Structure 1
Amino acid sequence: MKDRKAQVAALLALGARTQPALRGWVPFGDLPSEYHQALGAAVDKRLAEFADRDTRAELSALAGHPVPEAARLTTQGHDAVAYIKASSALPSPEEPSDEGLRLIQLRPSEMDVVRVYVSIAPQLHVPPADGLAEKVRTAAFDKTANRWTLRLTSEQVESVAYAFYLHACSVSVGEANRFARTYNISMRVDSTTGEIRPTPL
């Protein structure tokens, strides 16, 4: 994880310092030294490239001073930087709001499951938590991320987990499994009481 973060920081730094006058190349002297090693890993993944001997000579002529080392983003590197910037602008699934609510992001198919659950509330022995139906009704849809965004209380999050549990009983376990992995909560049998309860993973 640490190496990945260092590589991301190095790619962003390289992208921010790209010099059109040097055909996109960035002299190492313009990059913080802590990024140099991480750039080597980026080169191995074809996200960046180092200038060869002939290119360094051309860059030295263009810059008017010696350029002993230089790097630039590859086509894939430019795309990776664009993706990093876009994804970092999205809210984190674990980010709480000012009111202590939890941010939950659901795929359209997952939101459909929750809508069915709240729609049959009068028929259920374990109905949705108070306010969940209203949160579902007013949820915002992020077209870029293709996700519905809700800010829920812990009780409402447990209700969503229960909705996916019901869905798993008859249709598919995929939604319940993804929710459990992402938000660290799953409906499991309590060994003491034999009841289904929300359980942190």
Structure 2
Amino acid sequence: MNARQSRLDALRALREREAKSVYGWVLSTDVPPGLQQSLQTAAAQGLVELADREVRAELSAYEGRPVLWAARLSPQGHDVLTYLHASPDPTPLSTPPAAEEQVIELRPAQMDALRVYTNLAPVLRVAPADGLVERVRTAHFDRPGNRWRMTLTPEQIESIAYAFHLRALSGSVAEANWFAREYGVAYRMDQATGRPEAVRSRSRTVCP
């Protein structure tokens, strides 16, 4: 088990014990030595609050015996578990893409630019393709390759091209040019409609 997972498990265990605690503090008698050591480490990271001398004295009076150690989640520790619970599990990419779907890989900075677009979905006039917001939220981060990976439909891929088109018009053409070269989708003006439209080709460079 890695350090991150061990820390999260310790925070979950503390939360469970804290919910059953009469005083809102978890005492050393309710914590195995290994867990106590993990909570000490989490306290050094600001995720656990350890009782000071005054609090321990109050707890000792309640218990009728010396209380030498007590802990509870800090506000930050509580928020970590709340955020973890709300975060979706990454979509596994172990199965082959469905028919017409394609695996898309984006660098972290490119993913950040895409997230700006998906976060604005409620107020955009040209909304992201159905399902793209969820695919972005559940994207898998390939740490060795330093890439975010998603399996997307053609419509969702065109939405990414549109997101990078907006970015090109507002300042940086790097993402749109890269996406056009890598995945063959770009936005350009359609003279017939007078609007920018998605164009598919294997190699093209776009300009704002």
Q: SS at 1:21's partner residue?
A: coil
Structure 2 residue aligned with 1:62: 62
Q: 1:34-183 counterparts in 2 under 5 A?
A: 34-87=34-87, 90-94=88-92, 107=115, 109=117, 138-139=130-131, 147=137, 156=153, 160=157, 164=161, 167=164, 171=168, 172-174=173-175
Task: Quote how far apart the aligned CAs of 1:55 are.
Answer: 2.1
Q: SS at 1:68's partner residue?
A: coil
Task: Quote how far apart the aligned CAs of 1:71 are.
Answer: 0.8
Structure 1 residue aligned with 2:22: 21
Change (3 A) 1:57 1:175: farther
C-alpha distance in 1 between matches for 2:72 and 2:40: 12
Q: Name the aligned partner's letter for residue 187 of structure 1.
A: E
Runs of 4+ in 1 over 6 A off after TM superposition: 102-106
Change (3 A) 1:59 1:9: same
> Would the aligned equivalents of 1:9 and 1:35 in 2 still touch at CA under 8 Å?
no
1:36-66: CA deviation from partner (whole Å, max 9, x where unpaired)? 2222222122221222233223213323444
Change (3 A) 1:53 1:3: same
Q: How many residues align?
A: 154
Task: Quote how far apart the aligned CAs of 1:2 are.
Answer: 1.9
Change (3 A) 1:96 1:78: same
Q: Name the aligned partner's letter for residue 117 of structure 2.
A: S
Segments of 5+ residues of structure 1 without an aligned counterpart are 113-135, 180-185, 189-194, 197-201
Structure 2 residue aligned with 1:30: 30
TM norm structure 2: 0.50
1:137-174: CA deviation from partner (whole Å, max 9, x where unpaired)? 542755xx98499xxx96858x939x65x948x92445
Structure 1 residue aligned with 2:182: 187
> Would the aligned equivalents of 1:46 and 1:77 in 2 still touch at CA under 8 Å?
yes
Question: Identity percentage over the alignment?
Answer: 31
Coordinate RMSD, CA, aligned = 5.1
C-alpha distance in 2 between matches for 1:111 and 1:52: 43
C-alpha distance in 2 between matches for 1:176 and 1:63: 68
